[in-house]
Amino acid sequence: MYIIVLGILFLIMILTPLIFKNLKLTGFVTIFGATLVLGIVFKIITLVSGGSPLSYFNEFFYIDSLSVVQLLIIASINIIVSIYSYQYIGNEIKEKIISLKRGKFYYFLFNFFVFFMMFIALTNNIVAMWIGLEGTTLTTAFLIGFNINKNSLESAWKYIIICSIGIGIGLIGILIFVNAYSNQDASEILKWSHLAKNSNPQSTYSIKIAFTLIFVGIGTKAGLAPMHTWLPDAHSEAPSPVSAMMSGVLLNLALYVILRFYIITKHIPGLQNTKWLFIIFGCVSLIISSFSILRQLNYKRMLAFSSVENMGIIALGLGVGSKVAVFGALLHSLVHAFGKSMLFLTAGNILSAYKTKRIDKINSLIKTMPMNAVFLILGMLVITGAPPFPAFFSEYYIIVGTVETGNYFITALYSFCLLLVFAGFLRVFIKIVFNTEPGVKYAKMEEDKENILPLALCFVSIIIMSLLMNGYLSSMINNAVSIICD
C-alpha cells in the first residue's frame, strides 16, 4: 500500500512542472510532496524495525533494515534540497539568468531523479537496481549542464561518457553474475532476497569475474578512485542543490548497490578475498583525494574531492569487515549526507552572492555574510570529523576496525590522509572566513539572510542524530549491520 502511495506522489511531483505554468506552485508541490514522502519513510522505519523485512508485489519491492537507512538519507536530503531549490530557482529567474521554461525543466528532472533513487533503494530485483542507476545518469546529465556555458557542457559530456561506460561494464558483470546461477529456478534468480539466502552458483570463477566487473563499473558511479575523474568537474559545475543531492545521496546509493552484491558473494566459500577490492580502492581514493585537496583553487572542487575521500572511507570500512567498522561505515554515510549537503548549500549561497568560485577572491566572510560563515565553519568541523559531531565516532570506529583485524599499515595510511584533509580544509576555510586585506572595507551583504532555513535544518538534523546515537539510531544501524555481517 505504501508503494502505491509513493508512486502516486512521485507521479504528481513529476507531472506538475509540465502541466502548470506557475513556478511557485510547482515549488510548493515539490516541498509538500517531499514532506509526505518523509512521513511515509518514517512509518516504514517503524514497521521494519519490528524485525522482519517488508516485501510487496511478489517480492519486487523489498525493504529491510539496510534499505531503511538509505531511504532515510534520500527522503531527508530531498526535503532540505527542495526547500533550497525553491529559493534558488526563484532567485535565478528573478535575475533573468534562466527562463521560466528552464525552471520548470529543472523541477521535472529533479523529481525524476529522486524517483529513480527511491526506486533503487526499494527494489529487490538486481537488474532493476541497474536500470535505476542508469535512470539517474540520464536525469542528472542535463541537470549538470543546466547553466549552458562552456565549463558545464564540458563536465556534463565527461560525466555522460565516463558514467555510461562504467554502468555498461557493470551491466556485463551483472549478466555474468546472473548467468552463474542458471542452475536455479528462473523466476527467482533475479531476486536479491532469494540469492542472499541460498548461494549455490554453478561456478565460483564466473562469480569472481562478475563481482570484479560490477565493482569497477558501478564504482565509477560511486566516485572511487581511479575512476573518479568525472567527479570534481561534475560536482563543481552543477547548480548547488544538484551538487548537494548527487554528492550526498547518489554516490552513497551506488555503494549500496555494490554492497548488495557483496552480501551475496560473501556467503560463497572461497571468495573471502573480495574484501581486498574494497580496501585497496578505498585506500587509493583516500590518497588521491587528500593530496588533491591541498592543491585546489576552487572551493566547490575541493568539496567534490572531499566527497571522493569520504566514499573511500566508507569503502574502507565496509572492506575491513568487522562489526564495528561496518557500523562506522553506515554511520559515516548518514553523517556525510547531511554534512556535505550543508557545505554545498552554503557554497551555493556564497556563489550566488560573490559570483565567483575562486578561493583567492573571497575574503573576510565573517564580516560580509556572518550567518553563512558560521554554517561554513560548522560544516567543516562536521565533515572533517571533529567531536562532538557523529563523524568523529564513525571515523574512530573504522580505525578501531582496522586495528582489530590487524591491518596496521592501513590504519597508518588512513590516519595520515585524514590529517591531510583536515589541514587542507582548515587552511582554505580559515582564509575565506577570517582573512582581511588591509585597506578594504567589508560591508554586510544583503544576500546573507536568504536561504538560511535549509542550512539550519541540516544542522538541526545532525544535532538530533548525535543525541539519538545511543538509542534509536544505533539500534537501526545495528540491524543493518547484522544483515551485512552475519
Partner 1 sequence: MIEALLTIILISSIFMSGFRRIKLITAGFIFQSAAIGLIVLKLGYETGKVDYYILGILTIVTKVIIIPLIINKSVKKLKINREMELIVNGFVSYIITGIGIMIAFGILNKSQDNFLKTGIALFIIGVLLMVARKKAITQMIGFLIFENGIVLFETSLSKMSLVIEAGIVFEGLMLALIMGIMIFHINRTFDSINTDFFENLKE
C-alpha cell at 434: 577570517
Nearer to partner 1, 294 or 483 (CB): 294
CB of 182 to partner 1, least distance (A): 4
What is the rounded distance in angstroms from the CA atom of residue 121 to the CA atom of residue 259? 12
Nearer to partner 1, 142 or 392 (CB): 142
CB 168 within 8 A of CB 220: no
CA distances from 481 to 35, 68, 226, 317, 321 (A): 28, 12, 28, 12, 10
What is the rounded distance in angstroms from the CA atom of residue 479 to the CA atom of residue 276? 24
Q: Which residues bind partner 1 (CB under 8 A)?
A: 125, 127-128, 131, 134-135, 137-138, 141-142, 145, 148-151, 153-158, 160-161, 164-165, 168, 171-172, 175-176, 178-179, 182, 186, 190, 232-233, 236-237, 292, 295
CB of 125 to partner 1, least distance (A): 8
What is the rounded distance in angstroms from the CA atom of residue 49 to the CA atom of residue 63? 11
Nearer to partner 1, 190 or 342 (CB): 190
Nearer to partner 1, 7 or 388 (CB): 7
Find all residues with CB under 8 Å of 11, minimum gap 6, and list them.
none
Q: Output the CA angle 238-112-39, nearest 5 degrees.
A: 105
C-alpha cell at 106: 529543472
Nearer to partner 1, 5 or 161 (CB): 161
CA distances from 175 to 161, 169, 188 (A): 21, 10, 15
CB of 148 to partner 1, least distance (A): 6
β-bridge mates for residue 63, sequence order: 54
Nearer to partner 1, 305 or 338 (CB): 305
CB of 80 to partner 1, least distance (A): 28
Sign of the torsion angle spanned by Cα atoms 313, 318, 319, 325: positive
CB of 380 to partner 1, least distance (A): 23
CB 334 within 8 A of CB 468: no
CB of 175 to partner 1, least distance (A): 5
CB of 190 to partner 1, least distance (A): 7
Nearer to partner 1, 168 or 387 (CB): 168
